[in-house]
């Protein structure tokens, strides 16, 4: 009788974060998003054109018409509304552009969110989307060393860029452009610089040397049209 292979996961899920509490608290405390948006200036400029909506806005105010989130942030932006992205309370064909930045990995039903975005976008309207790249160098190195990766407890979805682009194609979006970005030089915690993981520093060095492998980037950025 063949031997049963050794389990690679034998943790009690309820104790998962206790086993890696220090790393989790570090990730939670770092102002990571503020320092990895190399495309944010571009998105901001584009979102000023026409009637726009920012989904999962937090304290941002990219939407010229509406900025929504599922709860009130500490600093409430202009045109803010509490709203669930699964059920957008806007008429069909309302917006010229929509941004959903570092949000889709948190939602329970991405298909429903994309359907709602498609519904409220005008014909030829633009969607700007960013989400973490699960195939970055940091994760690859940890897997190669047979180490657990650092997982964000609030991330419940993840896509390789090709599978995400195909998913959006199947949701009827067109003119899909995919950019891999997020090469970063520092992170911040309590407004003070903190050292990058060694794998991030290695990615920075390789990027400066001219390598353009998708694994060197922390984020996927997609631009597409209805």
Tokens for 12, please give them. 């009690």
Q: Say if 1 falls within a structural domain.
A: no
Q: Say if 2 falls within a structural domain.
A: no
DSSP string, 149-196: ----TT------HHHHHHHHHHTT-EEEEEEEE---S-EEETTEEEPP
Q: By three-state DSSP, how is residue 219 classified? A: strand
Residues 110-126: pLDDT tens digits?
999 999 999 999 999 99
Residues 155-177: pLDDT tens digits?
889 998 999 999 999 999 999 99
- pLDDT in the model for residue 127: 95
Q: Say if 3 falls within a structural domain.
A: no
Q: Which CATH number do you get for residue 51? A: 3.40.50.150
Confidence grade of residue 74 (pLDDT, cut at 50, 70, 90): confident
pTM of the model: 0.82
Q: Say if 72 falls within a structural domain.
A: yes
Q: Say if 8 falls within a structural domain.
A: no
Q: Say if 90 falls within a structural domain.
A: yes
Helix H or strand E encompassing 26: helix 21-29
- pLDDT, mean over the chain: 82
CA 33 vs. chain centroid, Å, equals 9
Among 61, 188, 184, 210, residue whose Cα is nearest residue 132: 184
Q: Say if 112 falls within a structural domain.
A: yes
Containing structural domain, residue 204: 13-225
- pLDDT in the model for residue 1: 58
Q: How many domains does the chain have?
A: 1
- Percent residues over pLDDT 70 in the chain: 76
The answer to whether residue 184 scores a pLDDT higher than 90 is no
Q: By three-state DSSP, how is residue 47 classified? A: helix
């Amino acid at each position: 009788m063949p031997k049963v292979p050794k389990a690679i996961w034998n943790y009690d899920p309820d104790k998962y974060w206790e086993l890696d509490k220090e790393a989790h608290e570090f990730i939670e405390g770092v102002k990571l998003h503020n320092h990895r948006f190399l495309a944010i200036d571009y998105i901001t400029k584009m979102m000023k054109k026409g009637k726009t909506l920012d989904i999962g806005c937090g304290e941002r105010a990219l939407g010229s018409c509406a900025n929504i989130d599922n709860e009130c942030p500490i600093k409430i932006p202009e045109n803010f509304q509490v709203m669930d992205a699964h059920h957008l309370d806007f008429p069909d064909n309302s917006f010229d552009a929509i941004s959903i930045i570092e949000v889709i990995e948190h939602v329970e039903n991405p298909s429903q969110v994309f359907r709602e975005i498609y519904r409220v976008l005008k014909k030829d309207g633009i969607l700007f989307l960013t989400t973490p790249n699960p195939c970055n160098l940091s994760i690859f190195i940890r897997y190669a060393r047979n180490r657990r990766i650092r997982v964000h407890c609030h991330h419940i979805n993840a896509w390789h860029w090709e599978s995400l682009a195909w998913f959006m194609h199947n949701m009827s979006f067109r003119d899909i452009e995919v950019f891999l970005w997020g090469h970063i030089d520092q992170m911040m915690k309590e407004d003070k610089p903190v050292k990058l993981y060694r794998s991030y520093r290695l990615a920075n060095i390789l990027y400066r040397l001219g390598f353009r492998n998708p694994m060197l980037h922390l984020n996927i950025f997609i631009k597409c049209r209805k």
